[in-house]
């Protein structure tokens, strides 16, 4: 079964701390995409990254970095030197097997990150 687990329901850090949000997934597909989305307090859903399972190189974008490890089925997200504006709910997602080109995504439960000043 397709499953995305974000075991951390809520994380609270103080500004400038580094924080890692965990994502563990299950899939029977051999190739697949993984996604992270951000939902700030204003409510919109913002795309952060898409990772192809072929590519296990870590991705860095400014203060954000992603560690994809196919061997452990994990796609973790690290924010370096967190800021108050990083406070949001973060979702990990992947397509269910056999979904083809439908665009259907299975979302994790989300991790609420609170960054305190």
Partner 1 sequence: DTAVSQTPKYLVTQMGNDKSIKCEQNLGHDTMYWYKQDSKKFLKIMFSYNNKELIINETVPNRFSPKSPDKAHLNLHINSLELGDSAVYFCASSQDGNSPLHFGNGTRLTVT
d(CA 77, CA 79): 7
CB-neighbour burial class of residue 9 (10 A; exposed 0-12, middle 13-18, buried 19+): exposed
Identify the sign of the CA torsion 45, 72, 67, 9. Answer: positive
Each residue 59-98 as x (binds partner 1 by CB under 8 A) or -, in order, gives ------------------------------x-x-x-x---
Residue nearer to partner 1 on the CB measure, 43 or 62? 43
**Which one of residues 2, 25, 34, 35 is an interface residue with partner 1 (CB under 8 A)?**
35
Q: Is 105 in the site for partner 1 (CB under 8 A)?
A: yes
SS3 of 102, please? coil
d(CA 58, CA 70): 12
- Residues of span 42-61 touching partner 1 by CB under 8 A: 43-47, 50
Binding site for partner 1 (CB under 8 A): 33, 35, 37, 39, 43-47, 50, 89, 91, 93, 95, 99-105, 107, 109-110, 112
């Amino acid at each position: 079964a397709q499953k995305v687990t974000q075991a951390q329901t809520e994380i609270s850090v103080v500004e400038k701390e580094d924080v890692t949000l965990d994502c563990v997934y299950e899939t029977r597909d051999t190739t697949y995409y993984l996604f992270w989305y951000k939902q700030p307090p204003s409510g919109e859903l913002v795309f952060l990254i898409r990772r192809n399972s072929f590519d296990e190189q870590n991705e860095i974008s400014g203060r954000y970095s992603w560690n994809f490890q196919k061997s452990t089925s994990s796609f973790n997200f690290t924010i370096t030197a967190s800021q108050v504006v990083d406070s949001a709910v973060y979702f990990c997602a992947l397509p269910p097997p056999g979904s083809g080109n439908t665009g259907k995504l299975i979302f994790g439960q989300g991790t609420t990150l609170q960054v305190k000043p």
